[in-house]
């Protein structure tokens, strides 16, 4: 299946996401073209991880919808991949690096089928791309932070997806790993993959990303880095919260208000 | 021969429990397992009343449903009534267990269960309940067949759903991102725990089931970093506890179930100290060496 | 009703013992349990309850008789030992806390059962009754038991009374308690000792398995009725005492019934009723509240439609036919009629024949809703850079929700703007 490269990789329409009824993302609207490395930036609690989780259907939406390649999520699940935050799993889990990377093949395998030789080869190939082939049989509890991140990345690669969502892949990794990852992302983008990255280090934004999404509960801006990553937008993204918006959010939770009234 | 029957039954129970226990402890659901093992009691009593015997499929299904109902209730109290999880677990299982005990007293004449048996079973009586073929041949104790079938079912379940169980346990967020239903596998696992608990209940009782669900799995977790080995080692730890526990009970002339639980704890303690990889003794040794 | 009168006359000393004993046990456990609950250590109580069994057996083996003091000391030792073991395993190995609790709970209990069965077969005649610890023996309490209970209950109450402030702060914010120089470790030690004490006497009423219930279920129930910790403790002990009394009564009426499980069923019922019916936190209350909100939304939407029709005709008080309203906003005729009747009852609309018109109050209310709607749309486009064609949906919700304070704040932040993003006039009250 050769994807039409003109269709946007991701389209988010009027998306609102709430925790315990309180909106943490309000009315997000954006369109991301294919083949870009996209950074999502914003202060703590701005809803960066929430945005990608909502797009992938891990969190329920209060309103709005998302489309990938102009199709609803369930039709394109096989084409999206996810790299969760490193701390989100228990690294004491009894599994080897190979076990984790093979998980990337699960969605292609389907129910009840076990990984075959070809899947192992593919997994090993992905490990090679992140410079971890020597660690294939290492237990994950013995990995360093950077190696854990590379393992997760290899798992995502093994999925052979078209869009990759990554939650803070650069957080707490060594310089070598950071370099490996960014080189890899560039190669992926060149072959037409779209990579959407939650990121918190402002220094590297212009260096790493073709496109930025600036977020603080609401969308401040989304566009090519050159035009979008401006002092004004930064000021607005990090320059304090809209207190009225926060108050209204609290009110919705306190009053147990229905998010959207039922359509009659 | 009776020794052999009892040890075999205990080992079958121990293996089923140990396999499921590995998933429970890695999912941080050990106490939910504990809750289910207590909460199936009213289900057992009611199924007993309706079907009139203790070895029917009705019993397995009925009590299995109660087990799933327990997990559902815990989640309901937690999510809808906003009760903290630990309290939701505590309130739910004590209530269902109390209902079970009261039901036993109400129908004392009709239900062949007593309170003590609920807690620590009567595995010593396993060899008495035999299956005799029409021609009169002794085919061995019924409990062995029941537990054997349960163990086979559990193994089939784990082998068939290995990928999904493994992934939803390790990284549920990634699992749902690639379209695997975490709640489906959660409830399937809980059903398996319920069925195992119910079928082991009368031979080993509520408490031993908990010990066998948790202790062997925890022991194995300290011995290996490989999940498949963990499953194997957990079974081995459970069988070892059954074997040594039986002889301890015979020697002391006490409860077999209690002795097996006690030994599963001692085996855990040994692993905690002497495990080559994670044991306190070798860790200390390595520290000193450095 | 004879049995009721006979029971509550407390003429029979046995009844007195059972009642006083059960109430003392359940009420004092509930008080200590409240702090267990607030510290989110509910399952620790369960672990201690199981772990005291080997201690009791040990006490019996040492003393050779059922000397209450020795049994309590034995129970106290293994109860404490179980906590130390859970703590040790969690700190020193990769085992997580819930696994450690379940492990210690079942293993200690297994050891207890083993010892109990060995003692039972040892032929020591005075052992009979030890198994009461498994399921409790509230119905068989005697005078000498009562003294032991009374002493323990008094200790519990006095210590909780003296250290109430400290315990409350620890449950709320341990880090802060530490920062202002509270001896947190010591206080935890004391609280844990109290739990062990409460368990040691409590299991004689309900037994080991159900002990967790009389510790935490009253607290869980009480939590739904109050946000104040003092009230919560009092309420929990009242719930506990009531269930103790009810359990004693049931075992009086039906002697074959086990008292402990009945106490637990009563307290659980109280808890379930609380979960569902308590004001503010109860499930039912929240459902009713949501229904009320839905009604308000419907009411205000109908008023809004009538206001908007009025804007078009430059006259807000023209009587309207149902179809006119339905043309603007989809309603089922029956549903719309019932909404209008509600509004009529509240004095916001008037009915003439089958035509409906706004009253002055109705117009005012509708105007406020329309104003907030348009202000919010403007807020979203100005402050959140949302396209004008994407703001309507959100405003549909907010218009029914905003408090007068937030409404004033919104007006101020937008400088009392005249026009919304669709260039429609924003109606203010004074105009």
Question: What predicted TM-score, i.e. pTM, was given to this entire model?
Answer: 0.88
Give just the sign of the alpha carbon dihedral C88, C94, C97, C102.
negative
Q: Which residue of B has its CA nearest to C216?
A: B87
Q: Which long-range contacts (CB under 8 A, 24 or more apart) does B76-84 make?
A: B77/C275, B80/C283, B81/C224, B81/C275, B81/C276, B81/C281, B81/C282, B81/C283, B82/C281, B83/C220, B83/C223, B83/C275, B84/C37, B84/C40, B84/C42
| Interchain CB distance below 8 Å, B227 and A93 | yes
Identify whether residues C354 and C220 lie together within a single domain. no
Question: For chain A, first and last CA: distance in Å?
Answer: 41
Tally Cβ neighbours within 10 Å of residue B165: 22
C93 in contact with chain B, both atoms CB, cutoff 8 A: yes
Closest Cα to residue B28, out of B93, B89, B97, B119? Answer: B89
| Interchain CB distance below 8 Å, C401 and A260 | no
Identify whether residues C142 and C289 lie together within a single domain. no
Tally Cβ neighbours within 10 Å of residue A151: 28
Give just the sign of the alpha carbon dihedral B104, B105, B110, B113.
positive
Tally Cβ neighbours within 10 Å of residue B273: 15
Does residue A53 fall inside a structural domain?
yes
Q: Which of B35-49, B80-94, B98-112, C136-150 has the lowest mean pLDDT?
A: C136-150
Q: List the single best residue of C47, C209, C247 to mutate versus B (max B Cβ within 10 A).
A: C209
ipTM here? 0.92
* Cβ-count burial C250-285 (b if 16+ within 10 Å, e if not): bbbeeeebbbbbbbbbbbbebbbebbbebeebbbeb
Residues B60/B195, Cβ–Cβ less than 8 Å: yes
Q: List the single best residue of A19, A93, A253 to mutate versus B (max B Cβ within 10 A).
A: A93
- At which residue do the structure tokens 């059954």 appear? B242
Return phi, psi of residue A35, to 5°: 75, 25
* Averaged pLDDT for residues B79-90: 89
- By percentage, how much of chain B surpasses pLDDT 70? 96
| Interchain CB distance below 8 Å, A94 and B229 | yes
In this predicted structure, what is the pLDDT of residue C32? Answer: 92
Does residue A171 fall inside a structural domain?
yes
Q: List the single best residue of A13, A14, A65 to mutate versus C (max C Cβ within 10 A).
A: A14
Q: List the single best residue of C26, C57, C93 to mutate versus B (max B Cβ within 10 A).
A: C93
- At which residue do the structure tokens 């930064």 appear? A234
In this predicted structure, what is the pLDDT of residue B155? Answer: 96
B275's tokens: 């495990």
Number of domains making up chain C: 2
Return the CA Rg of chain B: 19
Length of chain C: 431
Strand-pair partners of A218: A216
In this predicted structure, what is the pLDDT of residue A163? Answer: 94
Does residue A4 fall inside a structural domain?
no
Going by the DSSP 8-state scheme, the letter that residue A60 receives in this structure is -
Tally Cβ neighbours within 10 Å of residue B187: 14
The upper half-sphere exposure of residue B205, i.e. CA atoms within 13 Å in the direction of its Cβ, equals 27
Residues on chain A bordering chain B, Cβ-to-Cβ distance under 8 angstroms:
53, 56-58, 74, 77, 80-82, 84, 88-90, 93-96, 99-100, 103, 106-107, 109, 111-115, 139-142, 155, 159, 165
Cα–Cα dist A77/A171, whole Å:
26
What are the E-state strand segments in C302-424? 349-352, 355-358
Cα–Cα dist A71/A81, whole Å:
16
In this predicted structure, what is the pLDDT of residue A241? Answer: 64
Q: Which residue of B has its CA nearest to A56?
A: B177
Residues of C in contact with B260 (CB under 8 A): 110
DSSP string, chain B: -HHHHHHHHHHHHHHHHHHHHHHHHHTT-HHHHHHHHHHHHHHHHHHHHHHSSSS-HHHHHHHHHHHHHHHHHHHHHHHTS---HHHHHHHHHHHHHHHHHHHHHHTTTT----HHHHHH--GGGGGGSEEE-TT--EEEEHHHHHHHHHHHHHHHHHHHTHHHHHHHHH-HHHHHHTT--HHHHHHHHHHHHHHHHHHHHHHHHHHHHHHHHHHHHHHHHHH-S-HHHHHHHHHHHHHHHHHHHHHHHHHHT--HHHHHHHHHHHHHHHHHHH-TTT-HHHHHHHHHH-
Cα–Cα dist A135/C256, whole Å:
66
In this predicted structure, what is the pLDDT of residue A3? Answer: 53
Identify whether residues C276 and C286 lie together within a single domain. no
Cα–Cα dist B209/B196, whole Å:
9
Does residue A259 fall inside a structural domain?
no
Identify whether residues C362 and C408 lie together within a single domain. yes
Whether the pLDDT of residue B175 is over 60: the answer is yes
Return the CA Rg of chain C: 32
Residues C376/C394, Cβ–Cβ less than 8 Å: yes
Boundary (domain end) residue, out of C237, C254, C281: C281
Identify whether residues C275 and C299 lie together within a single domain. no
For the purposes of burial, counting CB atoms within 10 Å of the CB of B144, is it exposed (0-12), middle (13-18) or buried (19 or more)?
buried
| Interchain CB distance below 8 Å, C258 and B33 | no
List the single residue in B261, B262, B280 with the smallest CB-CB distance to C92. Answer: B280
Residues of C in contact with A258 (CB under 8 A): 290, 293-294, 297, 397
For the purposes of burial, counting CB atoms within 10 Å of the CB of A124, is it exposed (0-12), middle (13-18) or buried (19 or more)?
middle
In this structure, what CATH number is given to the domain that contains residue A67? 3.40.50.300
Q: Which residues of chain C have pLDDT under 70?
A: 1-2, 125, 138-140, 430-431
Does residue A249 fall inside a structural domain?
yes
Q: In what order do the strands lie in the sheet with A63-68?
A: A22-32, A10-19, A63-68, A71-72
pLDDT band at A9 (very low <50, low <70, confident <90, very high): very high
Query: B150-173: per-residue pLDDT in tens?
Result: 999 999 999 999 999 999 999 999
Domain carrying residue A238: 10-254
Identify whether residues C247 and C347 lie together within a single domain. no
Residues C196/C82, Cβ–Cβ less than 8 Å: no
Cα–Cα dist A15/A47, whole Å:
12
Domain carrying residue C364: 282-431
B76's tokens: 């309901």
Which uninterrupted H or E stretch holds A13? strand A10-19
Cα–Cα dist A220/A228, whole Å:
10
- In angstroms, what separates the C-alpha of A182 from chain C's closest C-alpha? 32
Does residue A33 fall inside a structural domain?
yes
Query: B101-134: per-residue pLDDT in tens?
Result: 888 888 877 766 666 677 777 777 777 777 777 7
A252 in contact with chain C, both atoms CB, cutoff 8 A: yes
In this predicted structure, what is the pLDDT of residue A107? Answer: 81
- By percentage, how much of chain B surpasses pLDDT 90? 51
B269 in contact with chain A, both atoms CB, cutoff 8 A: no
Identify whether residues C272 and C310 lie together within a single domain. no
Strand-pair partners of C350: C357
Going by the DSSP 8-state scheme, the letter that residue A31 receives in this structure is E
What residues have CB less than 8 Å from B146, skipping those under 6 apart?
A: B55, B199
- At which residue do the structure tokens 């999904």 appear? B164
Closest Cα to residue A32, out of A77, A80, A86? Answer: A80
- In angstroms, what separates the C-alpha of A195 from chain C's closest C-alpha? 25
Query: What value, to the nearest 5°, has the Cα angle with vertex B77 and ends B76 and B83?
Result: 140
pLDDT band at B53 (very low <50, low <70, confident <90, very high): low
- At which residue do the structure tokens 């084409």 appear? A79
Cα–Cα dist A164/A79, whole Å:
9
List the single residue in B31, B80, B261 with the smallest CB-CB distance to C107. Answer: B261
Identify whether residues C241 and C351 lie together within a single domain. no
Length of chain B: 290
In this structure, what CATH number is given to the domain that contains residue C359? 1.10.10.10
In this predicted structure, what is the pLDDT of residue C231? Answer: 93
Residues C261/C206, Cβ–Cβ less than 8 Å: yes
In this predicted structure, what is the pLDDT of residue B54? Answer: 61
Q: Which fold has domain B2-289?
A: ABC transporter involved in vitamin B12 uptake, BtuC (1.10.3470)
- By percentage, how much of chain A surpasses pLDDT 90? 53
Number of domains making up chain A: 1
Q: Which of B59-63, B204-208, C234-238, C381-385 has the lowest mean pLDDT?
A: B59-63
Question: For chain C, first and last CA: distance in Å?
Answer: 71
Boundary (domain end) residue, out of C281, C306, C336: C281
Identify whether residues C208 and C97 lie together within a single domain. yes
């Amino acid at each position: 299946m050769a994807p039409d490269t003109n269709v946007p990789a991701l389209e988010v329409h009027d998306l609102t996401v709430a925790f315990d009824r309180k909106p943490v993302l309000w009315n997000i609207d954006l369109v991301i073209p294919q083949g870009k490395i996209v950074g999502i930036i914003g202060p703590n609690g701005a809803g960066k991880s929430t945005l990608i989780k909502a797009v992938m259907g891990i969190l329920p939406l209060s309103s709005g919808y998302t489309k990938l390649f102009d199709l609803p999520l369930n039709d394109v699940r096989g084409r999206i991949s996810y790299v969760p935050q490193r701390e989100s799993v228990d690294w004491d889990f009894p599994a080897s690096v190979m076990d984790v990377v093979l998980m990337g093949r699960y969605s292609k395998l389907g129910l009840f089928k076990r990984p075959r030789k070809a899947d192992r080869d593919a997994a090993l190939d992905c490990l090679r791309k992140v410079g971890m082939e020597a660690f294939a049989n290492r237990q994950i509890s013995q990995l360093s932070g950077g190696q854990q991140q590379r393992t997760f990345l290899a798992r995502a690669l093994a999925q052979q997806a078209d869009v990759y969502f990554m939650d803070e892949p650069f957080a707490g990794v060594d310089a070598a790993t950071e370099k490996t990852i960014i080189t890899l992302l560039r190669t992926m983008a060149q072959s037409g993959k779209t990579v959407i990255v939650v990121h918190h280090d402002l220094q590297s934004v212009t260096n790493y990303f073709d496109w930025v999404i600036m977020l603080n509960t609401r969308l401040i801006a989304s566009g090519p880095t050159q035009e979008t990553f401006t002092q004004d937008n930064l000021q607005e993204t990090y320059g304090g919260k809209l207190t009225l918006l926060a108050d209204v959010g609290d009110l919705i939770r306190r009053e147990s208000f229905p998010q959207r009234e039922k359509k009659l | 021969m009776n020794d052999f029957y009892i040890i075999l039954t205990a080992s079958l129970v121990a293996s089923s429990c140990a396999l499921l226990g590995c998933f429970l402890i890695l999912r941080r659901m050990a106490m939910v397992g504990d809750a289910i093992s207590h909460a199936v009691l009213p289900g057992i009593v009611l199924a007993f009343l309706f079907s009139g015997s203790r070895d029917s499929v009705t019993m397995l299904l009925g009590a299995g449903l109660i087990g799933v109902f327990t997990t559902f209730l815990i989640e309901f109290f937690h999510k809808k009534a906003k009760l903290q999880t630990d309290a939701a677990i505590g309130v739910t299982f004590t209530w269902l267990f109390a209902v079970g005990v009261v039901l036993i007293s109400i129908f004392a004449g009709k239900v062949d269960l007593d309170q003590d048996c609920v807690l620590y079973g009567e595995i010593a009586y396993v060899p008495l309940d035999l299956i005799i073929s029409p021609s009169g041949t002794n085919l061995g104790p019924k409990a062995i067949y029941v537990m054997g079938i349960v163990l086979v079912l559990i193994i089939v379940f784990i082998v068939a759903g290995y990928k999904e169980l493994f992934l939803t346990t390790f990284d549920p967020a990634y699992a749902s991102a690639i379209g695997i239903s975490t709640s489906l596998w959660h409830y399937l696992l809980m059903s398996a725990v319920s069925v195992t608990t119910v079928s082991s209940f009368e031979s080993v009782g509520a408490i031993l089931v908990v010990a066998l669900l948790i202790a062997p799995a925890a022991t194995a977790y300290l011995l290996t970093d490989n999940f498949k080995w963990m499953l194997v080692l957990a079974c081995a730890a459970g069988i070892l506890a059954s074997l040594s526990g039986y002889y301890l009970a015979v020697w002391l002339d006490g409860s077999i179930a209690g002795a097996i639980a006690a030994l599963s704890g001692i085996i855990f303690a040994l692993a905690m100290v002497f495990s080559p990889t994670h044991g306190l003794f070798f860790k200390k040794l390595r520290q000193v060496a450095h | 009703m004879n049995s009721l009168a006979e029971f509550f006359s407390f003429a029979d000393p046995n009844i007195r013992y059972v009642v006083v004993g059960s109430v003392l046990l359940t009420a004092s456990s509930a008080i200590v349990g409240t702090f267990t609950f607030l510290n989110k250590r509910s399952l620790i109580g369960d672990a201690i309850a199981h772990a005291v069994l080997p201690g009791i057996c040990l006490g019996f083996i040492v003393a050779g008789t059922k000397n209450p003091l020795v049994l309590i000391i034995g129970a106290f030792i293994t109860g404490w030992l179980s906590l130390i073991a859970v703590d040790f395993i969690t700190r020193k190995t990769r085992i997580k806390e819930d696994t450690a609790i379940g492990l210690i709970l079942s293993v200690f209990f297994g050891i207890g059962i083993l010892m109990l069965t060995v003692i039972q077969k040892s032929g020591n005649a005075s052992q009979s009754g030890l198994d009461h610890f498994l399921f409790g023996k509230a119905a068989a309490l005697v005078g000498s038991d009562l003294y032991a209970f009374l002493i323990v209950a008094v200790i519990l109450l006095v210590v909780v009374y003296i250290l109430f402030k400290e315990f409350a702060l620890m449950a709320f914010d341990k880090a802060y308690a530490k920062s202002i120089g509270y001896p947190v470790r010591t206080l935890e030690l004391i609280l844990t000792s109290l739990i062990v004490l409460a368990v040691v006497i409590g299991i004689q009423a309900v037994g080991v398995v159900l002990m967790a219930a009389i510790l935490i279920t009253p607290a869980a129930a009480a939590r739904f009725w109050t946000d104040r910790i003092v009230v919560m403790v009092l309420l929990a002990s009242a719930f506990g005492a009531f269930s103790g009394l009810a359990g004693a009564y049931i075992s009086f009426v039906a002697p074959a019934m086990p008292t402990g499980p009945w106490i637990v069923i009563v307290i659980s019922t109280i808890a379930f009723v609380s979960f569902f019916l308590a004001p503010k936190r109860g499930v039912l209350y929240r459902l009713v509240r949501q229904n009320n909100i839905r009604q308000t939304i419907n009411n205000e939407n109908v008023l809004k439609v009538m206001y908007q029709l009025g804007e078009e005709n430059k006259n807000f008080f023209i009587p309207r036919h149902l179809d006119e309203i339905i043309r603007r906003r989809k309603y089922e005729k029956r549903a719309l009629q019932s909404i209008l009747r509600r509004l009529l009852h509240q004095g916001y609309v008037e009915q003439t024949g089958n035509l409906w018109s706004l009253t002055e109050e109705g117009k005012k209310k509708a105007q406020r809703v329309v104003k907030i709607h348009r202000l919010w749309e403007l807020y979203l486009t100005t402050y959140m850079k949302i396209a004008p064609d994407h703001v309507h949906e959100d405003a549909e919700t907010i218009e029914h929700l905003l408090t007068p304070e937030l409404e004033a704040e919104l007006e101020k932040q937008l400088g009392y703007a005249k026009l919304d993003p669709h260039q429609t006039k924003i109606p203010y009250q004074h105009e």
